[in-house]
Amino acid sequence: MGLWSHHLSLGLLLLFLLPPECLGAEGRLALKLFRDLFTNYTSALRPVADTDQTLNVTLEVTLSQIIDMDERNQVLTLYLWIRQEWTDAYLRWDPNAYGGLDAIRIPSSLVWRPDIVLYNKADAQPPGSASTNVVLRHDGAVRWDAPAITRSSCRVDVTAFPFDAQRCGLTFGSWTHGGHQLDVRPRGTAASLADFVENVEWRVLGMPARRRVLTYGCCSEPYPDVTFTLLLRRRAAAYVCNLLLPCVLISLLAPLAFHLPADSGEKVSLGVTVLLALTVFQLLLAESMPPAESVPLIGKYYMATMTMVTFSTALTILIMNLHYCGPSARPVPAWARALLLGHLARGLCVRERGEPCGQSRPPESSPSPEPPEGEAGHPVGPCHEPRCLCRQEALLRHVATIANTFHSHRAAQRCHEDWKRLARVMDRFFLGIFFSMALVMSLLVLVQAL
């Protein structure tokens, strides 16, 4: 009140002490009008002829710029142009009496102003009004245009980050006047975006306005307010290029570990390298992602991809154990031979070298060695010929031993080849499974960007 009195007294003093001959005709008329209007005027009371009359205030907001969206603290900083219009019953005159002068511009501190403030203000500083002029018309209509930088609270939901959309409300209303004394209404159905400066991170979808009348627990009379809801959608191009696309490429690279030959020695190394790369990107994502109660979409995608790579690496180790089964290993079970080496191998086109696709090598049985027989089918035994080779029984036993060893080695080699072939079938099978999973997950996430 003291500051207002100082401004008013200073303005009146300058105008009253200014010699009229120093002004032109229009200036003298404006000075006379000002003296006539503000001689007995006070800005401390509502400018209505009847104290029971409601003063109507029209509020118009123009969004100029989004300065900052602090997701961590959930604070939205905007640059607005706020226009308030009302009628002052004590500031009226006849334009014909003042040379056709129908409007003047005077400091806003000289007239009564509505105490309309931002209810959801998130700033520690007390609310203040900009020191701008008001336009005063002959019929008492007052228009006050003032720029304002507002910091309002906004509930940020990052569940769909980086493809999220936000709704931030700005509620304006009188702080002390109830609905029976001051009624505030929006001009139009939405805030103006004609002078909006585009933001690099957020795209503005609209800013509709809605009037409400609420009754608070402190007071019995209703309090009207106007809420402007700012509709925002995040521009996800930078996040897709820097965080999402590398993860998609890495996730598609991870299943190729099943396509590497087991003898290369790089199957497990590829899986571990992919897992480390995903961990690094997960750390980068944690730094740029705002904190939230729920896990964002891109965070779920990273966790699902890392889980898939972990399982693929574990399965690669198990398949390599099958590949390196030695000759002492047991033969492939009958069900695995029929199901995996038979039907699944034909379906996945896993074949031996020179074997056409769709046909699998029939299982071979290990021939058992038989003792040497004679020409008539009788066992070779002692004969009466003095120089017959059948007398060399020791030599025949050695030949039989060599034959048995050769057949055993052949059987062990066939068993080892069956296990290696089974490992190739499993590699081909899990290659298709994990590649399809990675492709489907990547498409589901990338579709959100369209």
Contact between residue 312 and residue 270 where contact means Cβ atoms under 8 Å apart:
no
Is residue 388 helix, strand or coil?
Answer: coil
pLDDT of 414 strictly over 80: no
Asked whether residue 228 falls in the same domain as residue 305, the answer is no
> Does some domain include residue 305?
yes
Question: In whole angstroms, what is the distance from residue 100 CA to residue 26 CA?
Answer: 10
Burial of 388 (0-12, 13-18, 19+ CB in 10 A): exposed
Least confident range of 55-59, 325-329, 365-369, 400-404 = 365-369
DSSP code at position 255: G
> Does some domain include residue 186?
yes
Asked whether residue 157 falls in the same domain as residue 271, the answer is no
Asked whether residue 419 falls in the same domain as residue 445, the answer is yes
* Total number of domains in the chain: 2
pLDDT of 385 strictly over 50: yes
Give the domain CATH number at 70: 2.70.170.10
Asked whether residue 255 falls in the same domain as residue 286, the answer is yes
Asked whether residue 220 falls in the same domain as residue 254, the answer is no
The CA angle 414-420-424, to the nearest 5 degrees, is 140
Asked whether residue 184 falls in the same domain as residue 250, the answer is no
Task: Give the residue among 318, 355, 349, 337 at the shortest CA–CA distance from 414.
Answer: 337
| Among 233, 261, 292, residue at a domain's last position | 233
> Does some domain include residue 388?
no
Helix 245-253, helix 267-288: angle, nearest 10: 160
| Among 211, 233, 255, residue at a domain's last position | 233
> Does some domain include residue 1?
no
Q: Which residues contact 8 (CB under 8 A, 6 or more apart)?
A: 38, 43, 109, 110
Range 118-124, long-range pairs (CB < 8 A, 24+ positions) = 118/150, 118/152, 118/170, 118/171, 118/172, 119/171, 119/172, 119/173, 119/225, 120/152, 120/153, 120/169, 120/170, 120/171, 121/150, 121/151, 121/152, 121/153, 122/75, 122/151, 122/152, 122/153, 123/151
For the segment 416-441, what is each residue's pLDDT rounded down to a tens digit? 677 777 778 888 888 888 888 988 88
For the segment 326-352, what is each residue's pLDDT rounded down to a tens digit? 666 677 777 777 777 777 777 777 766
Asked whether residue 108 falls in the same domain as residue 165, the answer is yes
Asked whether residue 195 falls in the same domain as residue 66, the answer is yes
More confidently predicted of 449 and 157:
157
> Does some domain include residue 18?
no
pLDDT of 271 strictly over 60: yes
Question: In whole angstroms, what is the distance from residue 182 CA to residue 47 CA?
Answer: 11
Q: What is the CA radius of gyration of the chain?
A: 45
13 — pLDDT class (breaks 50, 70, 90): very low
> Does some domain include residue 133?
yes
Question: In whole angstroms, what is the distance from residue 296 CA to residue 161 CA?
Answer: 5
The CA angle 95-58-68, to the nearest 5 degrees, is 125
Please tell me the predicted confidence (pLDDT) of residue 22: 47
Is residue 412 helix, strand or coil?
Answer: helix
> Does some domain include residue 417?
yes
DSSP string for residues in 106-157: EEGGGS----EEETTB--SSPP-----EEEEETTSEEEEEEEEEEEEE----
Asked whether residue 133 falls in the same domain as residue 278, the answer is no
Annotate 76-120 with three-state secondary structure: EEEEEEEEEEEECCCCCCCHHHHCCCCEEEEEHHHCCCCCEEECC
Question: In whole angstroms, what is the distance from residue 269 CA to residue 166 CA?
Answer: 43
Contact between residue 108 and residue 147 where contact means Cβ atoms under 8 Å apart:
no
H and E: helices and strands count for the chain: 9, 11
Start-to-end Cα distance in the chain: 56
Question: In whole angstroms, what is the distance from residue 197 CA to residue 191 CA?
Answer: 14
For the record, the structure tokens of 175 come out as 């702080």
Give the pairing type, strands 209-214 and 202-206: unpaired
The CA angle 259-265-269, to the nearest 5 degrees, is 80
For the segment 118-159, what is each residue's pLDDT rounded down to a tens digit? 999 988 776 656 678 999 999 999 999 999 999 999 998 888
pTM above 0.75, yes or no: no
Give the domain CATH number at 288: 1.20.58.390
Question: In whole angstroms, what is the distance from residue 315 CA to residue 324 CA?
Answer: 14
Chain position carrying tokens 């790579």: 309
> Does some domain include residue 370?
no
Asked whether residue 220 falls in the same domain as residue 250, the answer is no
Is residue 41 helix, strand or coil?
Answer: coil
Asked whether residue 125 falls in the same domain as residue 221, the answer is yes
Count the residues in the chain: 450
57 — pLDDT class (breaks 50, 70, 90): very high
Asked whether residue 166 falls in the same domain as residue 312, the answer is no
287 — pLDDT class (breaks 50, 70, 90): confident
The CA angle 187-189-235, to the nearest 5 degrees, is 120
Is residue 364 helix, strand or coil?
Answer: coil
Helix 393-447, helix 297-323: angle, nearest 10: 170
| Among 233, 267, 285, residue at a domain's last position | 233
Please tell me the predicted confidence (pLDDT) of residue 6: 46
Backbone angles phi, psi at 398, to 5 degrees: -65, -40
Range of the domain at 267: 239-341+400-449
